[in-house]
């Protein structure tokens, strides 16, 4: 059974320490989960700590085998050990990718996880943001929206020299697990127009909608295998983002060499706790992950039922991730502030390139989520009293 600590105050948690306890703001923002990690991961870390010697380390062959096995079992992709490069975090992997691939311009589909946007500014690289399109969908009796890539616009934006697409699948924040057809269309365009792809697949273990699946673009579109850098990590799925352990899968030897050269001497190695936790997560975490998916799906249904029924808010339907994307432009110019005033801390859509939107992280204990959703509901119907959450 998924277990939760009594609270996370006093544990140096980025998510919980943003607000003081007395402020009584429920933190539903940064993307980590409030539950304990899989017991097998915790046990493995205990064992490693008990040994008591924390010297330099190297990639354990057990982790490489577990990773190859994981990628084959979950995504039907047979990868080779030499294709894998290890580093602490996916954001540094994105940074390395944009330095390693000379092609410009950079493209990304927005709204998007903020570091995708800041990379462009930091580099001064030619960067083209391609807003996704929305369509209305009826789900569970509510009118929601679903976001799609505008392929025609993408095609038109690519110059004859090609470019470099920073892709996010499953997509944060619009919750899409892109379909086979969509990836094929994307693959056709990138192949025809000479676009290199960096595919951030950190959320690939979090397909909440059991009728969908994750496709690794480099596996699914054979023409892209040699022109794609795939970024993955056990961090989101097994709730170990504070124990940094990530990797890139790069089948193309030349691309891999360039990526390794940029990393060399700058990007630190994964530390031994990262290796320990990652190995245990991939080897033993599956039963826990199955429970997690069920729990998160029920949380999502609660979000859908509550937010989906508030006419002033437009909720995005969700296939993957534990992040709900909400259009709150009818409520306020600064909905993050508005909801903080109501006692709920959400991520600001402006950071994702979409002011007026908010992102709600529902990977918390259900009662806490229920309370957060009540506060949101009551803040919009101001005559009702907001109950107090007592942590
Ligand atoms: C799409 C995406 N990429 C990367 C990250 C962060 O990865 P890391 O903490 O490994 O840098 C996140 C975290 O929320 C994310 O959603």
How confident is residue 140, by pLDDT bands cut at 50, 70 and 90? confident
pLDDT at 5: 95
Region 203-217 average pLDDT: 98
CATH number at residue 183: 3.40.640.10
Cα–Cα distance, 158 to 22 (Å, whole number): 51
**Higher confidence at residue 243 or residue 121?**
243
Site to probe by mutation for ligand 1, drawn from 110, 202, 359 as the one with most ligand atoms within 8 Å of Cβ, is 202
Domain membership of residue 320 (yes or no) is yes
Question: Does 331 sit in the ligand 1 pocket, CB within 6 Å?
Answer: no
Question: Does 31 sit in the ligand 1 pocket, CB within 6 Å?
Answer: yes
Yes or no: say if 243 and 270 are a contact pair by the CB < 8 Å rule.
Answer: no
Domain membership of residue 45 (yes or no) is no
Q: 385 pLDDT exceeds 50?
A: no
Cα Rg of the chain, angstroms: 21
Q: What is the pLDDT of residues 262-281, one digit of tens each?
A: 999 999 999 999 999 999 99
The answer to whether residues 229 and 156 belong to one domain is: yes
How confident is residue 382, by pLDDT bands cut at 50, 70 and 90? low
Question: Does 206 sit in the ligand 1 pocket, CB within 6 Å?
Answer: no
What's the gap in Å between 311 CA and the centre of ligand 1? Answer: 31
Q: Which is the closest atom of ligand 1 to the Cα of 241?
A: 9
How much is the mean pLDDT over the chain?
95
Alpha helices in the chain (DSSP H): 14-17, 39-51, 61-75, 90-100, 114-123, 151-157, 180-192, 217-220, 253-263, 272-284, 286-307, 335-341, 366-380
What's the gap in Å between 32 CA and the centre of ligand 1? Answer: 10
How confident is residue 391, by pLDDT bands cut at 50, 70 and 90? very low
What's the gap in Å between 141 CA and the centre of ligand 1? Answer: 32
Yes or no: say if 32 and 15 are a contact pair by the CB < 8 Å rule.
Answer: yes
The answer to whether residues 107 and 178 belong to one domain is: yes
Yes or no: say if 72 and 78 are a contact pair by the CB < 8 Å rule.
Answer: yes
Domain membership of residue 183 (yes or no) is yes
Count CB neighbours of 9 within 10 A.
14
Q: Report the percentage of the chain scoring pLDDT > 70.
A: 97
Region 377-388 average pLDDT: 64
Question: Does 323 sit in the ligand 1 pocket, CB within 6 Å?
Answer: no
Domain membership of residue 385 (yes or no) is no
DSSP secondary-structure letter at 36? Answer: P
Name the residue with tokens 């979950």.
74
Yes or no: say if 272 and 48 are a contact pair by the CB < 8 Å rule.
Answer: yes
Question: Does 233 sit in the ligand 1 pocket, CB within 6 Å?
Answer: yes
Residue 49 in tokens: 């700590």
The answer to whether residues 344 and 302 belong to one domain is: yes
pTM above 0.85, yes or no: yes
Question: Does 199 sit in the ligand 1 pocket, CB within 6 Å?
Answer: no
Q: What is the pLDDT of residues 144-163, one digit of tens each?
A: 999 999 999 999 999 999 99
Domain stop point among 284, 300, 315: 284
The answer to whether residues 182 and 194 belong to one domain is: yes
- Closest C-alpha residue for ligand 1 atom 1: 172
Residue 84 in tokens: 């894998």
Yes or no: say if 71 and 84 are a contact pair by the CB < 8 Å rule.
Answer: no
The answer to whether residues 124 and 20 belong to one domain is: no
CATH number at residue 297: 3.90.1150.10
Cα–Cα distance, 248 to 76 (Å, whole number): 17
Give the N- to C-terminal CA distance of the chain in Å, as an integer: 22
The answer to whether residues 275 and 315 belong to one domain is: no
The answer to whether residues 280 and 290 belong to one domain is: no
Owning domain of residue 29:
14-38+286-379
DSSP secondary-structure letter at 319? Answer: S
What's the gap in Å between 388 CA and the centre of ligand 1? Answer: 32
- Closest C-alpha residue for ligand 1 atom 13: 31
Domain stop point among 284, 300, 317: 284
Domain stop point among 250, 284, 318: 284
Domain membership of residue 196 (yes or no) is yes
**How many independent structural domains does the chain possess?**
2
Question: Does 28 sit in the ligand 1 pocket, CB within 6 Å?
Answer: no
The answer to whether residues 94 and 218 belong to one domain is: yes
Residue 362 in tokens: 């529902």
The answer to whether residues 167 and 293 belong to one domain is: no
What's the gap in Å between 231 CA and the centre of ligand 1? Answer: 10
Residue 3 in tokens: 């277990």
Question: Does 167 sit in the ligand 1 pocket, CB within 6 Å?
Answer: no
The answer to whether residues 165 and 309 belong to one domain is: no
Domain membership of residue 1 (yes or no) is no
Q: Which is the closest atom of ligand 1 to the Cα of 89?
A: 10
Domain membership of residue 169 (yes or no) is yes
Question: Does 348 sit in the ligand 1 pocket, CB within 6 Å?
Answer: no
| Sign of torsion over alpha carbons 40, 80, 203, 272 | positive
Region 374-389 average pLDDT: 69
Yes or no: say if 299 and 367 are a contact pair by the CB < 8 Å rule.
Answer: no
The answer to whether residues 79 and 196 belong to one domain is: yes
Question: Does 246 sit in the ligand 1 pocket, CB within 6 Å?
Answer: yes
Question: Does 200 sit in the ligand 1 pocket, CB within 6 Å?
Answer: yes
Question: Does 243 sit in the ligand 1 pocket, CB within 6 Å?
Answer: no
Q: Which is the closest atom of ligand 1 to the Cα of 91?
A: 11
The answer to whether residues 125 and 269 belong to one domain is: yes
Domain membership of residue 249 (yes or no) is yes
Yes or no: say if 173 and 351 are a contact pair by the CB < 8 Å rule.
Answer: no
Looking at 85-99, 221-235, 368-382, which range is the least confident one? 368-382
C-alpha count within 13 angstroms, C-beta hemisphere, residue 87:
24
Question: Does 347 sit in the ligand 1 pocket, CB within 6 Å?
Answer: no
């Amino acid at each position: 059974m998924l277990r939760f600590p009594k609270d996370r105050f006093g544990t140096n948690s980025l998510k919980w320490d943003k607000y003081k306890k007395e402020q009584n703001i429920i933190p539903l923002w940064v993307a980590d989960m409030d539950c304990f990690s899989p017991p097998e991961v915790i046990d493995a870390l205990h064992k490693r700590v008990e040994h008591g010697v924390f010297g330099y380390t190297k990639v354990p062959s057990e982790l490489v085998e577990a990773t190859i096995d994981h990628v084959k079992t979950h995504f039907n992709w047979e990868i080779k050990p030499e294709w894998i490069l290890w580093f602490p975090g996916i954001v540094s992997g994105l940074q390395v990718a944009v330095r390693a691939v000379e092609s410009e311009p950079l493209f990304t589909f927005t709204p998007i996880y903020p570091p995708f946007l800041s990379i462009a500014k930091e580099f001064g690289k030619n960067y083209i943001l391609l807003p996704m399109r929305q369509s209305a969908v009826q789900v569970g009796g509510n009118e929601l929206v679903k976001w799609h890539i505008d392929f025609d616009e993408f095609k038109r934006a690519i110059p004859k020299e090609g470019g470099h697409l920073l892709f996010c699948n499953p997509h944060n924040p619009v919750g899409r697990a892109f379909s086979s057809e969509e990836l094929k269309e994307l693959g056709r365009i990138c192949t025809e127009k000479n676009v290199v792809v960096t595919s951030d697949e950190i959320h690939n273990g979090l397909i909440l909608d059991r009728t969908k699946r994750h496709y690794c673009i480099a596996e699914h579109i054979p023409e892209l295998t040699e022109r794609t850098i795939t970024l993955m990590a056990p961090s989101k799925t097994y709730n170990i983002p504070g124990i940094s352990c990530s990797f890139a899968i790069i089948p193309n030897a030349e691309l891999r060499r360039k990526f390794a050269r940029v990393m060399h001497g700058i990007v630190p190695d994964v530390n031994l706790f990262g290796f320990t936790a990652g190995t245990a997560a991939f080897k033993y975490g599956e039963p826990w992950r199955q429970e997690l998916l069920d729990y998160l799906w029920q949380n999502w249904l609660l979000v859908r039922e509550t937010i989906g029924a508030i006419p002033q808010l437009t909720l995005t339907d969700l296939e993957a991730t534990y992040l709900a994307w909400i259009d709150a432009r009818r409520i306020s110019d600064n909905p993050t502030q508005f909801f903080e005033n109501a006692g709920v801390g959400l991520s600001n859509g402006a950071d994702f390139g979409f002011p007026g939107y908010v992102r709600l992280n529902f990977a918390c204990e259900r009662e806490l989520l229920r309370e957060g959703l009540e506060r949101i509901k009551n803040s919009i119907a101001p005559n009702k009293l907001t109950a107090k959450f007592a942590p």
